[in-house]
């Protein structure tokens, strides 16, 4: 028996090639790009610390604001603008929750689209409203838990800054930044492990017609039985994300530069033509022509971003599905090229 995480790489690549290139379908890429936009993607935290650091001397702390003064300024801003601040916070939280709900449903839409190799949005979105909502609840609980842990780990630093008559020094700021980065990295790893189990559970929900919590318990039970395969799977996925992101990123950068040059040439020609006709930047005619062209150019660039965002997540999801198909065969994932295309009743 080999390692399913490594064995799945070749099959995932072939499935990605068949789904995206054989044949190439522009609107299929766009629909996948829209789905992936709502699902979102992970980022990386970069921090460059100074080469040398010495404790601040007395003369370097002179004139530094005390914590008491900073808190007084914050209180003044709060008293003056608290209504607007509360409205902004409420709208922000609402938008975040709405986006997270759509994202949770789109997780199921993305899996079904790749399994069937037929990308649609509206019908699958309606189909997976219920399991998507359950996933949304889990995501909210997970988010609250991660946020609570973040606050708990940051309390020592916060308490130090809130001590009466404390002078904020460069050393305190740097120490706080280093601690913040460490906490964020720790929470990113913990969250990544948890979300990996959730991602593996989503196909189980779809193809065993069970709840998300039951699916997660089944994945955890399978993990206890065969945890070595998951460890290798995680290691392979880290390497795949790095290699695939670099390769696709370089291609995307080249395409972006070429497209910007192509779009810039007509813009410059239009600018010089209008200037020669006496229609400069102060003319209504100038903006009546340049603004629509700018909107068209922005639309073209957005389409490019949607298209280049598709290959890596698609490949990684096929890798997950192929791994899960071998690691947990009871799921019976009817991948479009596996010969198992049996139909199931709608959820």
**Concatenated DSSP letters for 134-161?**
HHHHHHHHHHHHHHHHHHHHHHHHHHHH
State the distance between the two ends of the chain, measured CA to CA, in whole angstroms.
Answer: 35
Confidence class for position 58, pLDDT limits 50, 70, 90: very low
Nearest-angstrom CA–CA distance, 185 and 135: 24
Q: Is residue 347 part of a domain?
A: no
Question: Which one is predicted more confidently, 289 or 149?
Answer: 149
The stretch 251-256 carries a mean pLDDT of 88
Return the top range by mean pLDDT from 153-162, 214-223, 277-286.
214-223
Query: In degrees, to the nearest 5, what angle opens at C-alpha 102 toward C-alphas 100 and 107?
Result: 95
Nearest-angstrom CA–CA distance, 145 and 166: 31
Domain of residue 267, residue span: 4-47+63-331
pTM of the predicted structure, to 2 decimals: 0.78
The pLDDT value given to residue 77: 73
Nearest-angstrom CA–CA distance, 183 and 40: 22
Tokens of 140: 């909210």
Q: Is residue 341 part of a domain?
A: no
Q: Is residue 57 part of a domain?
A: no
DSSP 8-state secondary structure symbol assigned to residue 282: T
CA 8 to chain centroid: 23
Q: Is residue 56 part of a domain?
A: no
Q: Is residue 293 part of a domain?
A: yes
Nearest-angstrom CA–CA distance, 145 and 190: 11
**Residues facing 339 on adjacent strands:** none
Confidence class for position 215, pLDDT limits 50, 70, 90: very high
**Token pair 């996948």 in the structure block, residue:** 32
Are residues 38 and 103 in contact, defined by beta-carbon separation less than 8 angstroms?
yes
Nearest-angstrom CA–CA distance, 213 and 45: 31
Confidence class for position 73, pLDDT limits 50, 70, 90: confident
Residue 289's nearest CA partner among 314, 305, 269 is 269
Region of 278 (left: φ > 0; alpha: ψ -120 to 50; beta: rest) is: left
| pLDDT tens, residue by residue, 282-307 | 778 778 888 888 888 888 888 888 88
Cis preceding-peptide flag for 184 (omega within 30 of 0): no
The b-or-e profile of 234-250 (16+ CB within 10 A means b, else e) is eebbeebbeebbeebee
The pLDDT value given to residue 109: 96
Q: How many residues does the chain have?
A: 347
The answer to which of 30-34, 61-65, 87-91, 133-137 has the lowest mean pLDDT is 61-65
| pLDDT tens, residue by residue, 86-140 | 899 999 999 999 999 999 999 999 999 999 999 999 999 999 999 999 999 999 9
Tokens of 52: 């040398």
**Token pair 């192929």 in the structure block, residue:** 322
Q: Is residue 101 part of a domain?
A: yes
Please give the C-alpha separations between residue 324 and each of 103, 199, 211, 330, 341, in angstroms, as whole numbers: 22, 10, 18, 10, 17
Nearest-angstrom CA–CA distance, 156 and 241: 35
Number of domains in the chain: 1
């Amino acid at each position: 028996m080999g390692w399913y995480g490594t064995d799945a790489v070749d099959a995932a690549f072939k499935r990605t090639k068949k789904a995206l290139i054989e044949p190439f379908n522009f609107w299929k890429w766009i629909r996948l790009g829209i789905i992936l936009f709502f699902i979102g993607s992970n980022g990386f935290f970069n921090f460059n610390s100074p080469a040398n650091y010495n404790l601040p001397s007395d003369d370097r702390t002179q004139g530094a604001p005390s914590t008491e003064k900073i808190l007084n300024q914050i209180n003044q801003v709060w008293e003056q603008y608290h209504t607007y601040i509360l409205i902004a916070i409420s709208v922000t939280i609402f938008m975040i929750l709405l986006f997270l709900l759509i994202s949770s449903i789109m997780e199921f839409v993305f899996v079904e689209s790749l399994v069937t190799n037929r990308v649609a949005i509206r019908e699958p979105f309606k189909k997976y409203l219920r399991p998507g909502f359950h996933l949304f609840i889990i995501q909210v609980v997970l988010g609250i838990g991660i946020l609570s842990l973040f606050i708990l780990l940051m309390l020592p630093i916060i308490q130090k800054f809130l001590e009466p008559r404390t002078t904020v020094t460069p050393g305190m700021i740097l120490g706080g930044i280093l601690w913040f980065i460490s906490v964020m990295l720790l929470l990113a790893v913990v969250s990544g492990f948890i979300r990996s189990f959730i991602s593996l559970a989503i196909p189980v929900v779809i193809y065993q017609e069970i709840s998300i919590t039951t699916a997660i318990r089944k994945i955890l039970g399978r993990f206890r039985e065969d945890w070595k395969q998951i460890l290798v799977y995680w290691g392979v996925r880290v390497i795949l994300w790095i290699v695939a992101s670099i390769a696709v990123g370089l291609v995307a950068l080249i395409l972006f530069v070429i497209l910007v040059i192509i779009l810039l040439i007509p813009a410059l020609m239009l600018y010089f033509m209008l200037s020669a006709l006496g229609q400069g930047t102060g003319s209504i005619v100038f903006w009546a022509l340049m603004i629509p062209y700018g909107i068209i150019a922005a639309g073209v660039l957005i389409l490019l971003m949607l298209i280049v965002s598709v290959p890596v997540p698609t490949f990684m999801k096929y890798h997950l599905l192929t791994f899960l198909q071998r690691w947990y065969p009871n799921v019976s994932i009817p991948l479009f090229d596996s010969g198992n295309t049996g139909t199931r009743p709608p959820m």
